[in-house]
Structure 1
Amino acid sequence: MEFVTPGLGLIFWQFVVFICLLLILKKFAWKPITAALHEREHSIDSALKAAEEAKREMSKLKADNEKLLEEARLERDSIVKLARQTADGLIEEAKEKATTESNRIVEAARLAIQQERQAAIQDIKQQVASLSLEIAEVVLRNQLKDDAAQRALVNKLVDDAKLN
Protein backbone atom coordinates (compact mmCIF):
# COMPACT_ATOMS: atom_id res chain seq x y z
CA MET A 1 0.00 0.00 0.00
CA GLU A 2 2.82 2.21 0.29
CA PHE A 3 2.82 2.70 -3.45
CA VAL A 4 -0.79 3.93 -3.48
CA THR A 5 -0.57 6.49 -0.62
CA PRO A 6 2.36 8.86 -0.61
CA GLY A 7 4.25 9.70 2.53
CA LEU A 8 4.00 12.96 4.43
CA GLY A 9 7.58 13.94 3.58
CA LEU A 10 6.99 13.41 -0.08
CA ILE A 11 3.91 15.62 -0.02
CA PHE A 12 5.88 18.35 1.84
CA TRP A 13 8.74 18.29 -0.65
CA GLN A 14 6.36 18.24 -3.59
CA PHE A 15 4.60 21.28 -2.11
CA VAL A 16 7.95 23.07 -1.60
CA VAL A 17 9.05 22.25 -5.16
CA PHE A 18 5.67 23.39 -6.48
CA ILE A 19 5.93 26.73 -4.64
CA CYS A 20 9.50 27.20 -5.90
CA LEU A 21 8.36 26.36 -9.40
CA LEU A 22 5.53 28.90 -9.09
CA LEU A 23 7.94 31.58 -7.85
CA ILE A 24 10.42 30.86 -10.65
CA LEU A 25 7.62 30.83 -13.23
CA LYS A 26 6.20 34.07 -11.77
CA LYS A 27 9.59 35.76 -11.89
CA PHE A 28 10.75 34.51 -15.32
CA ALA A 29 7.89 33.05 -17.31
CA TRP A 30 4.63 34.53 -16.08
CA LYS A 31 5.25 38.11 -17.31
CA PRO A 32 6.44 37.04 -20.77
CA ILE A 33 3.53 34.57 -21.06
CA THR A 34 0.95 37.16 -19.97
CA ALA A 35 2.64 39.78 -22.15
CA ALA A 36 2.50 37.35 -25.10
CA LEU A 37 -1.14 36.59 -24.30
CA HIS A 38 -1.97 40.32 -24.08
CA GLU A 39 -0.05 40.93 -27.31
CA ARG A 40 -1.88 38.03 -28.95
CA GLU A 41 -5.20 39.35 -27.65
CA HIS A 42 -4.32 42.83 -28.94
CA SER A 43 -3.28 41.46 -32.36
CA ILE A 44 -6.52 39.42 -32.55
CA ASP A 45 -8.54 42.53 -31.62
CA SER A 46 -6.69 44.64 -34.20
CA ALA A 47 -7.16 41.88 -36.79
CA LEU A 48 -10.89 41.76 -35.98
CA LYS A 49 -11.10 45.55 -36.20
CA ALA A 50 -9.20 45.47 -39.49
CA ALA A 51 -11.50 42.73 -40.77
CA GLU A 52 -14.53 44.76 -39.70
CA GLU A 53 -13.06 47.87 -41.37
CA ALA A 54 -12.31 45.83 -44.49
CA LYS A 55 -15.88 44.50 -44.42
CA ARG A 56 -17.25 48.05 -44.15
CA GLU A 57 -14.90 49.18 -46.90
CA MET A 58 -15.97 46.25 -49.10
CA SER A 59 -19.65 47.06 -48.53
CA LYS A 60 -18.92 50.71 -49.34
CA LEU A 61 -17.00 49.69 -52.47
CA LYS A 62 -19.82 47.35 -53.41
CA ALA A 63 -22.35 50.16 -53.00
CA ASP A 64 -20.12 52.49 -55.03
CA ASN A 65 -19.68 49.78 -57.66
CA GLU A 66 -23.44 49.26 -57.87
CA LYS A 67 -23.93 53.03 -58.12
CA LEU A 68 -21.34 53.21 -60.93
CA LEU A 69 -22.99 50.27 -62.69
CA GLU A 70 -26.37 51.96 -62.44
CA GLU A 71 -24.91 55.21 -63.78
CA ALA A 72 -23.25 53.28 -66.60
CA ARG A 73 -26.56 51.58 -67.40
CA LEU A 74 -28.37 54.91 -67.44
CA GLU A 75 -25.68 56.44 -69.63
CA ARG A 76 -25.78 53.43 -71.95
CA ASP A 77 -29.56 53.71 -72.18
CA SER A 78 -29.35 57.42 -72.94
CA ILE A 79 -26.66 56.80 -75.58
CA VAL A 80 -28.75 54.05 -77.18
CA LYS A 81 -31.82 56.30 -77.09
CA LEU A 82 -29.86 59.17 -78.65
CA ALA A 83 -28.44 56.82 -81.30
CA ARG A 84 -31.94 55.58 -82.13
CA GLN A 85 -33.25 59.13 -82.34
CA THR A 86 -30.34 60.11 -84.56
CA ALA A 87 -30.83 57.06 -86.76
CA ASP A 88 -34.58 57.74 -87.00
CA GLY A 89 -33.84 61.37 -87.86
CA LEU A 90 -31.34 60.36 -90.52
CA ILE A 91 -33.78 57.85 -91.98
CA GLU A 92 -36.57 60.43 -92.01
CA GLU A 93 -34.26 63.01 -93.58
CA ALA A 94 -33.15 60.49 -96.21
CA LYS A 95 -36.79 59.65 -96.95
CA GLU A 96 -37.63 63.32 -97.31
CA LYS A 97 -34.63 63.89 -99.59
CA ALA A 98 -35.56 60.85 -101.66
CA THR A 99 -39.17 62.02 -101.93
CA THR A 100 -38.09 65.53 -102.89
CA GLU A 101 -35.57 64.22 -105.40
CA SER A 102 -38.07 61.79 -106.91
CA ASN A 103 -40.67 64.58 -107.17
CA ARG A 104 -38.07 66.81 -108.85
CA ILE A 105 -37.10 64.04 -111.27
CA VAL A 106 -40.76 63.27 -112.06
CA GLU A 107 -41.46 66.97 -112.63
CA ALA A 108 -38.38 67.30 -114.84
CA ALA A 109 -39.46 64.21 -116.79
CA ARG A 110 -43.00 65.63 -117.11
CA LEU A 111 -41.60 68.91 -118.43
CA ALA A 112 -39.29 67.07 -120.82
CA ILE A 113 -42.19 64.93 -122.06
CA GLN A 114 -44.37 68.04 -122.51
CA GLN A 115 -41.59 69.81 -124.43
CA GLU A 116 -41.03 66.75 -126.60
CA ARG A 117 -44.79 66.52 -127.19
CA GLN A 118 -44.96 70.20 -128.19
CA ALA A 119 -41.95 69.72 -130.47
CA ALA A 120 -43.56 66.61 -132.00
CA ILE A 121 -46.88 68.46 -132.52
CA GLN A 122 -45.04 71.39 -134.11
CA ASP A 123 -43.12 68.98 -136.34
CA ILE A 124 -46.35 67.21 -137.33
CA LYS A 125 -48.00 70.57 -138.08
CA GLN A 126 -45.09 71.54 -140.31
CA GLN A 127 -45.17 68.19 -142.07
CA VAL A 128 -48.98 68.41 -142.50
CA ALA A 129 -48.67 71.95 -143.87
CA SER A 130 -45.90 70.89 -146.21
CA LEU A 131 -47.88 67.85 -147.35
CA SER A 132 -51.02 69.99 -147.78
CA LEU A 133 -49.13 72.43 -149.95
CA GLU A 134 -47.66 69.62 -152.00
CA ILE A 135 -51.08 68.00 -152.39
CA ALA A 136 -52.68 71.35 -153.27
CA GLU A 137 -49.92 71.98 -155.77
CA VAL A 138 -50.42 68.57 -157.37
CA VAL A 139 -54.22 69.03 -157.47
CA LEU A 140 -53.96 72.52 -158.91
CA ARG A 141 -51.46 71.41 -161.52
CA ASN A 142 -53.76 68.60 -162.51
CA GLN A 143 -56.80 70.89 -162.67
CA LEU A 144 -55.04 73.80 -164.33
CA LYS A 145 -53.18 71.97 -167.06
CA ASP A 146 -54.94 73.76 -169.83
CA ASP A 147 -55.24 77.52 -170.39
CA ALA A 148 -59.05 77.60 -170.37
CA ALA A 149 -59.25 76.14 -166.87
CA GLN A 150 -56.67 78.68 -165.66
CA ARG A 151 -58.61 81.61 -167.13
CA ALA A 152 -61.89 80.39 -165.64
CA LEU A 153 -60.29 80.14 -162.16
CA VAL A 154 -58.75 83.64 -162.45
CA ASN A 155 -62.10 85.13 -163.55
CA LYS A 156 -63.88 83.45 -160.65
CA LEU A 157 -61.34 84.78 -158.17
CA VAL A 158 -61.64 88.31 -159.61
CA ASP A 159 -65.44 88.17 -159.36
CA ASP A 160 -65.21 86.99 -155.75
CA ALA A 161 -62.76 89.79 -154.97
CA LYS A 162 -65.08 92.43 -156.45
CA LEU A 163 -67.94 91.28 -154.27
CA ASN A 164 -65.97 91.69 -151.11
Structure 2
Amino acid sequence: MLSNAFVLGAGGGFTGGDIIVQLVLFLVLLALLKKFAWGPLMGIMQERENHIAGEIDAAEKSRTEASKYLEEQRELLKEARQEALTLIESAKKQGDDQRSQIILEARQESERLKESAKREIETQKDQAMAALREQVASLSVMIASKVIEKELSVEDQEQLINDYIKEAGDQR
Protein backbone atom coordinates (compact mmCIF):
# COMPACT_ATOMS: atom_id res chain seq x y z
CA MET A 1 0.00 0.00 0.00
CA LEU A 2 2.74 2.21 0.59
CA SER A 3 3.66 1.96 -2.98
CA ASN A 4 0.13 2.87 -3.94
CA ALA A 5 0.18 5.87 -1.67
CA PHE A 6 3.41 6.96 -3.16
CA VAL A 7 1.98 6.69 -6.64
CA LEU A 8 -1.22 8.34 -5.57
CA GLY A 9 0.70 11.10 -3.83
CA ALA A 10 2.88 11.59 -6.83
CA GLY A 11 0.06 11.58 -9.28
CA GLY A 12 -2.49 13.15 -6.98
CA GLY A 13 -1.52 16.69 -7.84
CA PHE A 14 0.52 19.57 -6.72
CA THR A 15 0.10 21.35 -3.51
CA GLY A 16 0.36 25.10 -3.09
CA GLY A 17 3.80 24.73 -1.52
CA ASP A 18 5.09 22.75 -4.46
CA ILE A 19 3.94 25.42 -6.88
CA ILE A 20 5.57 28.15 -4.86
CA VAL A 21 8.83 26.18 -4.61
CA GLN A 22 8.83 25.50 -8.30
CA LEU A 23 8.00 29.11 -9.07
CA VAL A 24 10.86 30.30 -6.84
CA LEU A 25 13.21 27.79 -8.45
CA PHE A 26 12.07 28.93 -11.89
CA LEU A 27 12.70 32.58 -10.97
CA VAL A 28 16.12 31.69 -9.55
CA LEU A 29 16.85 29.79 -12.75
CA LEU A 30 15.77 32.80 -14.81
CA ALA A 31 17.96 35.11 -12.71
CA LEU A 32 20.94 32.77 -13.09
CA LEU A 33 20.32 32.45 -16.84
CA LYS A 34 20.04 36.21 -17.16
CA LYS A 35 23.23 36.80 -15.22
CA PHE A 36 25.42 34.01 -16.59
CA ALA A 37 23.97 33.13 -19.99
CA TRP A 38 21.65 35.81 -21.31
CA GLY A 39 23.84 38.82 -20.39
CA PRO A 40 27.06 37.46 -21.94
CA LEU A 41 25.14 36.10 -24.90
CA MET A 42 23.54 39.49 -25.49
CA GLY A 43 26.95 41.13 -25.07
CA ILE A 44 28.41 38.79 -27.68
CA MET A 45 25.46 39.43 -29.97
CA GLN A 46 25.84 43.20 -29.48
CA GLU A 47 29.56 42.94 -30.24
CA ARG A 48 28.78 40.90 -33.34
CA GLU A 49 26.15 43.42 -34.40
CA ASN A 50 28.61 46.29 -33.88
CA HIS A 51 31.32 44.39 -35.75
CA ILE A 52 29.01 43.67 -38.70
CA ALA A 53 27.80 47.30 -38.72
CA GLY A 54 31.44 48.44 -38.72
CA GLU A 55 32.26 46.08 -41.57
CA ILE A 56 29.25 47.34 -43.53
CA ASP A 57 30.31 50.95 -42.90
CA ALA A 58 33.90 50.14 -43.92
CA ALA A 59 32.67 48.37 -47.06
CA GLU A 60 30.41 51.32 -47.92
CA LYS A 61 33.29 53.73 -47.28
CA SER A 62 35.60 51.60 -49.45
CA ARG A 63 32.98 51.46 -52.17
CA THR A 64 32.55 55.23 -52.02
CA GLU A 65 36.32 55.76 -52.16
CA ALA A 66 36.66 53.27 -55.01
CA SER A 67 33.90 55.08 -56.88
CA LYS A 68 35.65 58.40 -56.21
CA TYR A 69 39.01 57.04 -57.40
CA LEU A 70 37.35 55.50 -60.44
CA GLU A 71 35.83 58.85 -61.34
CA GLU A 72 39.19 60.57 -60.78
CA GLN A 73 40.89 58.00 -63.00
CA ARG A 74 38.26 58.52 -65.70
CA GLU A 75 38.79 62.27 -65.49
CA LEU A 76 42.57 61.86 -65.66
CA LEU A 77 42.18 59.54 -68.65
CA LYS A 78 39.91 62.04 -70.33
CA GLU A 79 42.44 64.83 -69.68
CA ALA A 80 45.28 62.63 -70.98
CA ARG A 81 43.33 61.91 -74.17
CA GLN A 82 42.59 65.60 -74.63
CA GLU A 83 46.23 66.44 -74.02
CA ALA A 84 47.31 63.78 -76.52
CA LEU A 85 44.92 65.19 -79.12
CA THR A 86 46.25 68.68 -78.44
CA LEU A 87 49.83 67.44 -78.83
CA ILE A 88 48.95 65.67 -82.08
CA GLU A 89 47.24 68.76 -83.46
CA SER A 90 50.19 70.89 -82.38
CA ALA A 91 52.63 68.48 -84.03
CA LYS A 92 50.57 68.49 -87.24
CA LYS A 93 50.44 72.28 -87.27
CA GLN A 94 54.15 72.51 -86.57
CA GLY A 95 54.82 69.98 -89.36
CA ASP A 96 52.67 71.98 -91.77
CA ASP A 97 54.44 75.18 -90.76
CA GLN A 98 57.85 73.56 -91.22
CA ARG A 99 56.80 72.14 -94.58
CA SER A 100 55.60 75.57 -95.71
CA GLN A 101 58.81 77.16 -94.43
CA ILE A 102 60.97 74.57 -96.24
CA ILE A 103 59.03 75.07 -99.48
CA LEU A 104 59.36 78.85 -99.16
CA GLU A 105 63.08 78.60 -98.47
CA ALA A 106 63.52 76.20 -101.40
CA ARG A 107 61.70 78.62 -103.72
CA GLN A 108 63.77 81.53 -102.46
CA GLU A 109 66.96 79.52 -102.93
CA SER A 110 65.80 78.54 -106.41
CA GLU A 111 65.14 82.18 -107.29
CA ARG A 112 68.49 83.20 -105.85
CA LEU A 113 70.30 80.53 -107.87
CA LYS A 114 68.34 81.52 -110.96
CA GLU A 115 69.25 85.19 -110.52
CA SER A 116 72.86 84.23 -109.81
CA ALA A 117 72.93 82.12 -112.96
CA LYS A 118 71.44 85.01 -114.97
CA ARG A 119 74.08 87.39 -113.62
CA GLU A 120 76.80 84.85 -114.37
CA ILE A 121 75.47 84.40 -117.92
CA GLU A 122 75.30 88.17 -118.37
CA THR A 123 78.87 88.53 -117.07
CA GLN A 124 80.10 85.76 -119.35
CA LYS A 125 78.25 87.34 -122.25
CA ASP A 126 79.77 90.75 -121.53
CA GLN A 127 83.23 89.19 -121.25
CA ALA A 128 82.73 87.31 -124.52
CA MET A 129 81.52 90.49 -126.24
CA ALA A 130 84.51 92.42 -124.91
CA ALA A 131 86.88 89.69 -126.11
CA LEU A 132 85.13 89.63 -129.47
CA ARG A 133 85.40 93.44 -129.77
CA GLU A 134 89.08 93.27 -129.02
CA GLN A 135 89.59 90.60 -131.67
CA VAL A 136 87.47 92.51 -134.17
CA ALA A 137 89.38 95.65 -133.33
CA SER A 138 92.77 94.08 -133.82
CA LEU A 139 91.63 92.33 -137.02
CA SER A 140 90.17 95.57 -138.27
CA VAL A 141 93.41 97.38 -137.60
CA MET A 142 95.37 94.72 -139.41
CA ILE A 143 93.01 94.73 -142.36
CA ALA A 144 92.79 98.49 -142.42
CA SER A 145 96.55 98.90 -142.34
CA LYS A 146 96.96 96.44 -145.16
CA VAL A 147 94.14 97.89 -147.22
CA ILE A 148 95.12 101.46 -146.80
CA GLU A 149 98.76 100.64 -146.78
CA LYS A 150 99.24 103.70 -144.95
CA GLU A 151 100.95 103.76 -141.72
CA LEU A 152 99.04 105.07 -138.85
CA SER A 153 100.38 105.50 -135.42
CA VAL A 154 99.23 103.05 -132.77
CA GLU A 155 97.31 105.80 -131.03
CA ASP A 156 95.49 106.76 -134.24
CA GLN A 157 94.66 103.12 -134.90
CA GLU A 158 93.23 102.64 -131.43
CA GLN A 159 91.22 105.84 -131.76
CA LEU A 160 89.85 104.73 -135.11
CA ILE A 161 88.91 101.26 -133.74
CA ASN A 162 87.28 102.64 -130.62
CA ASP A 163 85.21 105.03 -132.71
CA TYR A 164 84.15 102.20 -134.99
CA ILE A 165 83.25 99.93 -132.04
CA LYS A 166 81.35 102.74 -130.42
CA GLU A 167 79.34 103.31 -133.59
CA ALA A 168 78.68 99.58 -133.95
CA GLY A 169 77.57 99.37 -130.31
CA ASP A 170 75.24 102.38 -130.75
CA GLN A 171 73.64 100.83 -133.78
CA ARG A 172 72.72 97.70 -131.82
C-alpha RMSD of the superposition: 2.6
* Aligned residue-pair number: 132
Match of 1:63 among 67, 72, 79: 67
1:87 aligned partner: 91
Is 1:122 equivalent to 2:126 in the alignment? yes
Aligned to 1:126, the other structure's residue is in SS state helix
TM-score, with normalisation over the residues of structure 2?
0.67
Identity fraction in percent: 9
Q: Does 1:100 align with 2:104?
A: yes
Cα shift at 1:23? 7.3
Note closer, same or farther for the CA distance 1:30–1:131 as it changes in structure 2 (3 Å cut).
Answer: same
Query: Which sections of structure 2, spanning at least 5 residues, go unmatched?
Result: 1-6, 8-21, 152-172
After superposition, the C-alpha distances for 1:69-123 in whole angstroms (9 at most, x for unaligned) are 2111101100100110111111111111111111111111111111111111111
Q: Distance in 1 between matches of 2:26 and 2:62?
A: 49
**TM-score by structure 1 length?**
0.70
Which residues in structure 2 correspond to 1:14-163 (within 5 Å)? 30-145=34-149
**With CA pairs under 8 Å and 6+ residues apart, which has the higher RCO, 1 or 2?**
2
Query: Structure 1 residues 135 and 35, CA, compared in 2 at 3 Å: closer, same or farther?
Result: same
